[in-house]
Amino acid sequence: MKKKIAILGSTGTIGTSTLAIVSRDISKFSVELLTANKNYKKLIAQAIKFKAKNILIHNEKFYPILKKRLKKYKIKIYCGNISLRKIISKKIDYTMCATTGIAGLQPTLDSIKISRVVAIANKESIICGWHLIEKLKKIYKTKIYPVDSEHFSIMQLTNGCQDKDIQEIILTASGGPFLKSSIKSLKQKKPSSAIKHPRWKMGKKISIDSANLMNKVFEIFEAYSFFKFDYNKFKILIHPQSYVHAIVRYTNGLIKMILHDTDMKIPIENTLYEKDTNIKNVRDINPSNFSNLHFEVADPRRFPSLTLLKAVKKNNYMAPTILNASNEELVKLFLDGKIYFTDIVKILKKITKLRDFKRFSKKIPKTIDDIMYIDQWARLKTQSLSVE
């Protein structure tokens, strides 16, 4: 029997990688749904190639084009922010949630209701909506898998462990483009240099987050949500080669780490096939990769974003939501040349000192509206602070 799958954000990097895996043995899969925001050309090509039963384009202005181009195909076409449950009525086997931003939270919640397994690559869903995700996960008995290489690795390393078994959990960071720059020069760094990652090409937003290590701050928030180990046990190490994705030190004295090529298809394929994984075309082990591994402690003077980890306490349920929204606004301002690179973290620190931050962060979200309300407050407050 074919495995029924849906891919939310199929035209993005993660979605494209997932379909590349599916294409290796397409006869084993039935593509029930593909979604995209506005890349209708790529969505059309994917829908035809993979014989998708349904497609959803969130930007409604492209709906007429899809209807016209796919007229001769038996593909149902939807648009806007329609609930996934109105498209898929029966439980499917697997959904990849690869949409970006806070807009991906509602589709992620919907996917838990319609899928046996949900793989999440949308970090905003985890950061902002984990309490809602966890509640639905129990109700619908859905398996949730992280797709980020760091969190996937932590899952492998801590499977079956309790908090008492773990001494330390380390996430690795490349260090970004400014790892060797002088600390004094960071203020004057331009967007054009901040988006030039030393190892791979990424989107502008994630490249900026990598440059100041905000991406790792958020990854610790994610990891704490997913794995429920003591918050203070999560650490960050700089590892420019990006070959080691996570390291766990156990209370029995052992240290284990997971290494694999910087290819997102590896964690994706493991979640797609679960225990039946047999990844093909993996390169042989190169001994030189082991001899050149380098690690260093992340310097908070170079990466002051690390100090934000102390601003989030155990009961600060909505603090990550506030920081995520504020950071998104600040990155936009930096890309537009309206603030300095170092202002991003400086203003985030100001946000954490506000009375409303302390008040809002302790709220437990009961609905997605609760999350969106605080998200919007954070964005407006950030904009006002940035012009002071």
In angstroms, the CA 330 to CA 326 distance is 6
**238: Cβ–Cβ under 8 A, 6 or more apart, which residues?**
172, 173, 174, 175, 179, 295, 296, 297, 298
In angstroms, the CA 125 to CA 14 distance is 15
Average pLDDT over residues 205-224: 94
pLDDT of 230 higher than 70: yes
List the 234-238 sheet strands across, edge first: 255-259, 244-250, 166-173, 234-238, 296-297
Percentage with pLDDT > 90 across the chain = 82
pLDDT score at 7: 98
pLDDT score at 292: 79
Q: Which CATH number fits domain 3-146: 3.40.50.720, 3.40.50.2000, 3.30.70.20, 1.10.3720.10?
A: 3.40.50.720
pLDDT score at 227: 93
pLDDT of 315 higher than 80: no
pLDDT of 281 higher than 60: no
pLDDT score at 96: 98
Selected residue with higher pLDDT from 25 and 163: 163
- Map out the domains of the chain as residue ranges: 3-146
Query: Tens digits of per-residue pLDDT, 80-139?
Result: 999 999 999 999 999 999 998 898 999 999 999 999 999 999 989 999 999 999 999 999
- The pTM for the full model equals 0.91
pLDDT score at 276: 62
In angstroms, the CA 375 to CA 57 distance is 24
Contact 157, 248 (CB under 8 A): yes
